[in-house]
Amino acid sequence: MKILVCEDDFMMIKAIEHKLKSEGYEVDVAVDGNQAVDKINQPDYDLVMTDLLMPFVGGLEIINKIRNEMHLKVPIIVLSTLGNEDTIIEAFKLGADDYITKPFSPNELSIRVKRLLIRR
């Protein structure tokens, strides 16, 4: 299973990579929105995780591109420090499948990933 992680925080990337790789997932990383858009144009991911606040292209735009422009069904998990209700609702309206507020437990992330991949 291949997971795209769109995140600009180096320490967060390392923590996510460590947890997911230890569970047997292949992890690809995009450190800004432009890289994320380039990578999702090659739709071979089983799951996408995206931060909302990233350089160049934000997470909401990435969700919109995946769901409404490319019409992909790949599960999307939002990882964000933005926990306000309006932002969460907007992410779900655009097509996010789950929303995790930072900081979060690596074990919680793992369970949510497994849950979405099983549904797929």
pLDDT on residue 81: 86
pLDDT of residue 42: 82
Encode pLDDT of 24-70 as tens digits.
Answer: 999 999 999 999 999 998 868 999 999 998 999 999 999 999 999 99
Token pair belonging to 19: 């947890």
pLDDT of residue 66: 95
92 within 8 A of 70, measured Cβ to Cβ: no
Q: What is the pLDDT of residue 111?
A: 95
Give the pLDDT score at 71. 94
3-class secondary structure, 98? strand
Q: Rounded distance, CA 80 to CA 42, Å? A: 24
CATH of 2-119, one of 3.30.70.20, 3.40.50.2300, 3.30.465.10, 1.10.10.10: 3.40.50.2300
pTM score: 0.93
DSSP string, 36-49: HHHHHTS---SEEE
Question: What is the residue extent of each domain of the chain?
Answer: 2-119
